[in-house]
Protein backbone atom coordinates (compact mmCIF):
# COMPACT_ATOMS: atom_id res chain seq x y z
CA UNK A 1 0.00 0.00 0.00
CA UNK A 2 1.47 3.32 -1.03
CA UNK A 3 1.94 6.02 1.56
CA UNK A 4 -1.09 8.29 1.74
CA UNK A 5 -3.28 5.96 -0.35
CA UNK A 6 -6.27 4.71 1.62
CA UNK A 7 -8.99 4.87 -1.02
CA UNK A 8 -8.35 1.41 -2.45
CA UNK A 9 -8.12 -2.03 -0.94
CA UNK A 10 -5.71 -4.01 -3.14
CA UNK A 11 -5.38 -7.79 -3.57
CA UNK A 12 -2.45 -7.97 -1.17
CA UNK A 13 -4.55 -6.39 1.55
CA UNK A 14 -7.54 -8.64 0.76
CA UNK A 15 -5.32 -11.69 1.23
CA UNK A 16 -4.05 -10.18 4.46
CA UNK A 17 -7.63 -9.69 5.66
CA UNK A 18 -8.44 -13.34 4.94
CA UNK A 19 -5.49 -14.45 7.08
CA UNK A 20 -6.39 -12.16 9.97
CA UNK A 21 -6.97 -13.80 13.32
CA UNK A 22 -8.85 -11.37 15.50
CA UNK A 23 -8.61 -11.01 19.24
CA UNK A 24 -10.96 -9.04 21.51
CA UNK A 25 -9.91 -8.27 25.07
CA UNK A 26 -12.82 -7.06 27.19
CA UNK A 27 -16.29 -8.38 26.36
CA UNK A 28 -18.46 -5.61 27.78
CA UNK A 29 -20.52 -2.80 26.27
CA UNK A 30 -17.79 -2.13 23.67
CA UNK A 31 -16.46 -5.64 23.09
CA UNK A 32 -19.81 -7.44 22.85
CA UNK A 33 -21.06 -5.75 19.63
CA UNK A 34 -17.60 -6.24 18.12
CA UNK A 35 -17.71 -9.97 18.92
CA UNK A 36 -21.21 -10.30 17.50
CA UNK A 37 -20.20 -8.48 14.31
CA UNK A 38 -17.33 -10.85 13.59
CA UNK A 39 -19.40 -13.94 14.42
CA UNK A 40 -22.14 -12.79 12.04
CA UNK A 41 -19.47 -12.25 9.38
CA UNK A 42 -18.64 -15.95 9.59
CA UNK A 43 -15.69 -15.98 11.94
CA UNK A 44 -15.38 -18.85 14.39
CA UNK A 45 -14.31 -18.77 18.02
CA UNK A 46 -11.01 -20.55 18.49
CA UNK A 47 -10.24 -20.54 14.76
CA UNK A 48 -10.02 -16.93 13.58
CA UNK A 49 -11.74 -15.13 16.46
CA UNK A 50 -10.41 -15.20 20.02
CA UNK A 51 -12.13 -13.52 22.98
CA UNK A 52 -10.87 -12.86 26.48
CA UNK A 53 -12.38 -11.21 29.55
CA UNK A 54 -10.98 -11.14 33.08
CA UNK A 55 -14.45 -11.69 34.55
CA UNK A 56 -14.72 -15.48 35.08
CA UNK A 57 -18.53 -15.29 34.96
CA UNK A 58 -18.38 -14.36 31.26
CA UNK A 59 -16.39 -17.45 30.30
CA UNK A 60 -14.07 -15.94 27.69
CA UNK A 61 -10.59 -17.45 28.03
CA UNK A 62 -9.39 -17.77 24.42
CA UNK A 63 -5.66 -17.69 23.66
CA UNK A 64 -5.05 -14.13 22.44
CA UNK A 65 -1.43 -14.97 21.53
CA UNK A 66 -2.76 -16.70 18.40
CA UNK A 67 -4.06 -13.42 16.96
CA UNK A 68 -2.53 -10.80 14.68
CA UNK A 69 -5.14 -8.06 15.21
CA UNK A 70 -6.18 -7.39 18.81
CA UNK A 71 -8.96 -5.00 19.83
CA UNK A 72 -8.54 -3.60 23.35
CA UNK A 73 -11.98 -2.91 24.87
CA UNK A 74 -11.22 -2.78 28.60
CA UNK A 75 -12.44 -0.20 31.15
CA UNK A 76 -10.60 3.07 31.83
CA UNK A 77 -12.02 4.06 35.24
CA UNK A 78 -11.31 7.40 36.91
CA UNK A 79 -8.56 7.95 39.45
CA UNK A 80 -9.49 9.65 42.75
CA UNK A 81 -8.56 13.03 41.22
CA UNK A 82 -10.83 12.42 38.22
CA UNK A 83 -8.03 11.69 35.76
CA UNK A 84 -8.33 8.69 33.47
CA UNK A 85 -6.79 5.45 34.70
CA UNK A 86 -5.48 3.65 31.62
CA UNK A 87 -3.55 1.06 33.63
CA UNK A 88 -5.80 -1.83 32.53
CA UNK A 89 -5.17 -0.95 28.88
CA UNK A 90 -1.42 -0.91 29.48
CA UNK A 91 -1.55 -4.09 31.55
CA UNK A 92 -3.17 -6.20 28.83
CA UNK A 93 -0.78 -4.82 26.21
CA UNK A 94 2.22 -5.59 28.43
CA UNK A 95 1.06 -9.22 28.66
CA UNK A 96 0.92 -9.70 24.89
CA UNK A 97 3.86 -11.59 23.39
CA UNK A 98 6.22 -9.69 21.12
CA UNK A 99 5.28 -9.83 17.46
CA UNK A 100 4.09 -8.12 14.29
CA UNK A 101 0.46 -7.91 15.36
CA UNK A 102 -1.75 -4.82 15.18
CA UNK A 103 -3.04 -3.56 18.53
CA UNK A 104 -6.27 -1.56 18.17
CA UNK A 105 -7.27 0.46 21.23
CA UNK A 106 -11.03 1.07 21.43
CA UNK A 107 -11.03 2.05 25.11
CA UNK A 108 -11.38 5.79 25.70
CA UNK A 109 -7.94 7.06 26.69
CA UNK A 110 -6.41 10.54 27.18
CA UNK A 111 -4.93 12.26 24.12
CA UNK A 112 -1.40 11.01 23.51
CA UNK A 113 -1.89 7.59 25.14
CA UNK A 114 -1.75 5.40 22.02
CA UNK A 115 1.41 7.14 20.82
CA UNK A 116 3.06 6.72 24.24
CA UNK A 117 2.14 3.04 24.39
CA UNK A 118 3.52 2.46 20.90
CA UNK A 119 6.86 3.94 21.96
CA UNK A 120 6.95 1.96 25.21
CA UNK A 121 5.77 -1.38 23.78
CA UNK A 122 7.08 -1.22 20.23
CA UNK A 123 8.10 -4.89 20.35
CA UNK A 124 4.46 -5.88 20.91
CA UNK A 125 3.35 -4.67 17.49
CA UNK A 126 1.78 -1.73 15.67
CA UNK A 127 -0.71 0.59 17.37
CA UNK A 128 -3.99 2.09 16.15
CA UNK A 129 -6.80 3.94 17.93
CA UNK A 130 -10.40 3.19 16.94
CA UNK A 131 -12.82 5.12 19.19
CA UNK A 132 -16.26 3.77 19.99
CA UNK A 133 -19.39 5.91 19.78
CA UNK A 134 -21.96 3.67 21.44
CA UNK A 135 -24.89 4.16 23.77
CA UNK A 136 -25.80 1.34 26.14
CA UNK A 137 -29.47 1.42 25.11
CA UNK A 138 -28.70 0.67 21.47
CA UNK A 139 -25.07 -0.45 21.40
CA UNK A 140 -25.58 -2.91 18.52
CA UNK A 141 -27.44 -0.43 16.32
CA UNK A 142 -24.84 2.25 17.02
CA UNK A 143 -22.07 -0.19 16.15
CA UNK A 144 -23.41 -1.45 12.82
CA UNK A 145 -24.61 1.97 11.62
CA UNK A 146 -21.90 4.37 12.79
CA UNK A 147 -21.90 8.05 11.91
CA UNK A 148 -18.12 7.84 12.08
CA UNK A 149 -15.62 5.03 11.69
CA UNK A 150 -12.20 6.33 12.67
CA UNK A 151 -8.98 4.32 12.60
CA UNK A 152 -5.88 6.35 13.42
CA UNK A 153 -2.23 5.32 13.63
CA UNK A 154 0.21 6.06 16.44
CA UNK A 155 3.15 6.45 14.06
CA UNK A 156 4.26 6.10 10.45
CA UNK A 157 5.00 2.37 10.62
CA UNK A 158 1.57 1.61 12.08
CA UNK A 159 -0.19 3.29 9.13
CA UNK A 160 0.17 0.17 6.99
CA UNK A 161 -2.53 -1.50 9.09
CA UNK A 162 -5.12 1.26 8.83
CA UNK A 163 -7.02 0.16 5.73
CA UNK A 164 -6.89 -3.49 6.80
CA UNK A 165 -8.56 -2.74 10.14
CA UNK A 166 -10.95 -0.21 8.61
CA UNK A 167 -12.18 -2.88 6.20
CA UNK A 168 -12.89 -5.25 9.08
CA UNK A 169 -15.41 -2.84 10.61
CA UNK A 170 -18.88 -1.50 9.65
CA UNK A 171 -18.79 1.35 7.15
CA UNK A 172 -19.66 4.80 8.47
CA UNK A 173 -20.80 7.79 6.42
CA UNK A 174 -17.67 9.49 7.74
CA UNK A 175 -14.59 7.31 7.54
CA UNK A 176 -11.08 8.20 8.55
CA UNK A 177 -9.02 7.84 6.49
CA UNK A 178 -11.60 6.41 4.07
CA UNK A 179 -12.18 3.42 1.81
CA UNK A 180 -14.11 2.70 -1.37
CA UNK A 181 -17.85 3.32 -1.02
CA UNK A 182 -17.56 6.07 1.56
CA UNK A 183 -16.87 9.77 1.52
CA UNK A 184 -15.26 12.44 3.69
CA UNK A 185 -11.73 11.12 3.50
CA UNK A 186 -9.53 12.55 6.22
CA UNK A 187 -6.49 10.92 7.74
CA UNK A 188 -5.83 11.72 11.39
CA UNK A 189 -3.30 10.49 13.91
CA UNK A 190 -4.16 8.67 17.13
CA UNK A 191 -3.82 11.74 19.36
CA UNK A 192 -6.20 13.75 17.16
CA UNK A 193 -8.73 10.89 17.30
CA UNK A 194 -8.36 10.57 21.08
CA UNK A 195 -8.95 14.29 21.55
CA UNK A 196 -11.97 14.16 19.22
CA UNK A 197 -13.53 11.43 21.39
CA UNK A 198 -13.07 13.50 24.54
CA UNK A 199 -14.21 16.70 22.82
CA UNK A 200 -17.41 15.02 21.62
CA UNK A 201 -18.37 13.79 25.08
CA UNK A 202 -17.46 17.11 26.69
CA UNK A 203 -19.63 18.93 24.17
CA UNK A 204 -22.50 16.55 24.83
CA UNK A 205 -22.28 17.21 28.56
CA UNK A 206 -21.99 20.94 27.95
CA UNK A 207 -25.07 20.92 25.71
CA UNK A 208 -27.09 19.01 28.31
CA UNK A 209 -26.07 21.54 30.97
CA UNK A 210 -26.76 24.53 28.73
CA UNK A 211 -30.28 23.47 27.78
CA UNK A 212 -31.02 22.79 31.43
CA UNK A 213 -30.14 26.43 32.11
CA UNK A 214 -32.61 27.37 29.36
CA UNK A 215 -35.20 25.25 31.15
CA UNK A 216 -34.41 27.10 34.40
CA UNK A 217 -35.10 30.43 32.69
CA UNK A 218 -38.33 29.14 31.17
CA UNK A 219 -39.50 28.06 34.61
CA UNK A 220 -38.71 31.48 36.09
CA UNK A 221 -40.52 33.28 33.27
CA UNK A 222 -43.48 30.92 33.25
CA UNK A 223 -43.06 29.86 29.62
CA UNK A 224 -43.13 26.47 27.88
CA UNK A 225 -39.61 25.01 27.57
CA UNK A 226 -40.58 22.59 24.80
CA UNK A 227 -41.80 25.46 22.62
CA UNK A 228 -38.60 27.43 23.21
CA UNK A 229 -36.57 24.30 22.57
CA UNK A 230 -38.42 23.69 19.30
CA UNK A 231 -37.62 27.19 18.05
CA UNK A 232 -33.95 26.90 18.95
CA UNK A 233 -33.31 23.38 17.66
CA UNK A 234 -34.87 23.99 14.26
CA UNK A 235 -31.62 25.76 13.50
CA UNK A 236 -29.73 23.01 11.63
CA UNK A 237 -26.50 24.12 13.26
CA UNK A 238 -27.90 23.27 16.69
CA UNK A 239 -30.38 20.35 16.25
CA UNK A 240 -32.27 18.61 19.04
CA UNK A 241 -29.73 16.11 20.35
CA UNK A 242 -29.20 16.26 24.13
CA UNK A 243 -31.97 18.84 24.63
CA UNK A 244 -34.62 16.67 26.35
CA UNK A 245 -34.03 17.86 29.90
CA UNK A 246 -36.01 14.96 31.39
CA UNK A 247 -34.26 12.23 29.41
CA UNK A 248 -33.88 9.16 31.61
CA UNK A 249 -36.29 10.52 34.20
CA UNK A 250 -33.98 13.12 35.72
CA UNK A 251 -32.39 16.44 34.83
CA UNK A 252 -28.67 16.74 34.16
CA UNK A 253 -26.15 14.23 32.82
CA UNK A 254 -24.79 11.02 34.31
CA UNK A 255 -23.80 7.61 32.97
CA UNK A 256 -20.50 5.93 32.18
CA UNK A 257 -19.13 8.47 29.68
CA UNK A 258 -20.05 12.13 30.13
CA UNK A 259 -19.05 12.52 33.82
CA UNK A 260 -15.93 10.36 33.50
CA UNK A 261 -14.62 12.00 30.34
CA UNK A 262 -15.47 15.48 31.60
CA UNK A 263 -13.50 14.87 34.80
CA UNK A 264 -10.60 13.37 32.85
CA UNK A 265 -10.43 16.44 30.61
CA UNK A 266 -10.51 18.78 33.61
CA UNK A 267 -7.69 16.80 35.23
CA UNK A 268 -5.61 16.91 32.06
CA UNK A 269 -6.29 20.64 31.77
CA UNK A 270 -4.70 21.06 35.20
CA UNK A 271 -1.57 19.34 33.90
CA UNK A 272 -1.51 21.57 30.81
CA UNK A 273 -1.99 24.65 32.97
CA UNK A 274 0.85 23.64 35.28
CA UNK A 275 3.17 23.19 32.28
CA UNK A 276 2.22 26.57 30.84
CA UNK A 277 2.85 28.31 34.15
CA UNK A 278 6.21 26.59 34.61
CA UNK A 279 7.22 27.90 31.19
CA UNK A 280 5.99 31.39 32.06
CA UNK A 281 3.67 31.28 29.05
CA UNK A 282 1.13 34.14 29.04
CA UNK A 283 -1.35 31.82 27.32
CA UNK A 284 -1.89 30.20 30.74
CA UNK A 285 -4.38 32.93 31.68
CA UNK A 286 -6.47 32.39 28.56
CA UNK A 287 -6.30 28.60 28.83
CA UNK A 288 -7.44 28.74 32.45
CA UNK A 289 -10.58 30.69 31.48
CA UNK A 290 -11.49 28.00 28.97
CA UNK A 291 -10.78 25.23 31.47
CA UNK A 292 -13.00 26.97 34.01
CA UNK A 293 -15.90 26.71 31.56
CA UNK A 294 -15.78 22.92 31.85
CA UNK A 295 -15.51 23.16 35.64
CA UNK A 296 -18.56 25.44 35.78
CA UNK A 297 -20.49 22.92 33.68
CA UNK A 298 -19.57 20.15 36.12
CA UNK A 299 -20.46 22.26 39.18
CA UNK A 300 -23.85 23.19 37.71
CA UNK A 301 -24.61 19.57 36.88
CA UNK A 302 -23.73 18.40 40.39
CA UNK A 303 -25.93 21.13 41.90
CA UNK A 304 -28.77 20.23 39.55
CA UNK A 305 -28.60 16.56 40.51
CA UNK A 306 -28.36 17.44 44.20
CA UNK A 307 -31.56 19.50 43.91
CA UNK A 308 -33.27 16.25 42.86
CA UNK A 309 -31.58 14.30 45.71
CA UNK A 310 -29.25 12.52 43.28
CA UNK A 311 -25.50 12.29 42.82
CA UNK A 312 -23.57 11.48 39.67
CA UNK A 313 -22.35 8.27 41.31
CA UNK A 314 -25.85 7.14 42.31
CA UNK A 315 -27.32 7.32 38.82
CA UNK A 316 -24.27 6.44 36.73
CA UNK A 317 -25.44 2.85 36.44
CA UNK A 318 -26.68 0.48 33.75
CA UNK A 319 -29.97 1.45 32.11
CA UNK A 320 -32.06 -1.27 33.76
CA UNK A 321 -30.74 -0.30 37.20
CA UNK A 322 -31.35 3.38 36.52
CA UNK A 323 -35.01 2.71 35.76
CA UNK A 324 -35.40 1.04 39.15
CA UNK A 325 -33.66 3.92 40.92
CA UNK A 326 -35.84 6.53 39.21
CA UNK A 327 -39.00 4.51 39.89
CA UNK A 328 -38.18 4.18 43.60
CA UNK A 329 -37.18 7.84 43.79
CA UNK A 330 -40.43 9.02 42.20
CA UNK A 331 -42.46 6.77 44.49
CA UNK A 332 -40.79 8.26 47.57
CA UNK A 333 -41.30 11.79 46.27
CA UNK A 334 -45.01 11.16 45.68
CA UNK A 335 -45.45 9.79 49.20
CA UNK A 336 -43.52 12.72 50.62
CA UNK A 337 -45.62 15.28 48.74
CA UNK A 338 -48.89 13.39 49.04
Distance separating alpha carbons of residues 78 and 259, to the nearest angstrom: 10
Distance separating alpha carbons of residues 93 and 106, to the nearest angstrom: 13
pLDDT digits (tens, 9 = 90+) for 173-202: 776 665 555 545 678 999 999 999 999 999
Neighbours of 109 (CB within 10 A): 25
Question: Mean pLDDT throughout 261-281?
Answer: 97
List residues with catalytic annotation: 257
Residues 6+ apart with CB under 8 A from 197: 108, 131, 133, 261
Class of the domain covering 194-337: mainly alpha
User: In the prediction, which pLDDT does 337 show?
Assistant: 76
pLDDT digits (tens, 9 = 90+) for 41-71: 999 999 999 999 999 999 999 999 999 999 9
Residues 6+ apart with CB under 8 A from 249: 322, 323, 326, 330
Q: Does domain 11-188 have CATH number 3.40.50.720?
A: yes
Q: What is the pTM of this model?
A: 0.89
Neighbours of 43 (CB within 10 A): 17
* 338 pLDDT tier (thresholds 50, 70, 90): low
Task: Provide the residue ranges of all domains of the chain, joining segments of one domain with +.
Answer: 11-188, 194-337
Q: Is the bond leading into 76 cis (omega within 30 degrees of zero)? A: no
Amino acid sequence: MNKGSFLTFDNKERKMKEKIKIGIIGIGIVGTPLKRWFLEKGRERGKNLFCYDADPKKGFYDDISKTNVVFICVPTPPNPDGSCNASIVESVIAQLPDGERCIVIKSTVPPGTTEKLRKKYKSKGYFLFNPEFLTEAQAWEDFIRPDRQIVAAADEDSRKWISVVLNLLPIGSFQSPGIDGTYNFHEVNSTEAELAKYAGNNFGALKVAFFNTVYDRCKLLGVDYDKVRLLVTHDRRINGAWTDVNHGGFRGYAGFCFPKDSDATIAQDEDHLKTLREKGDNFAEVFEKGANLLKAKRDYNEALLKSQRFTVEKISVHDKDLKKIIKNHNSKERKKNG
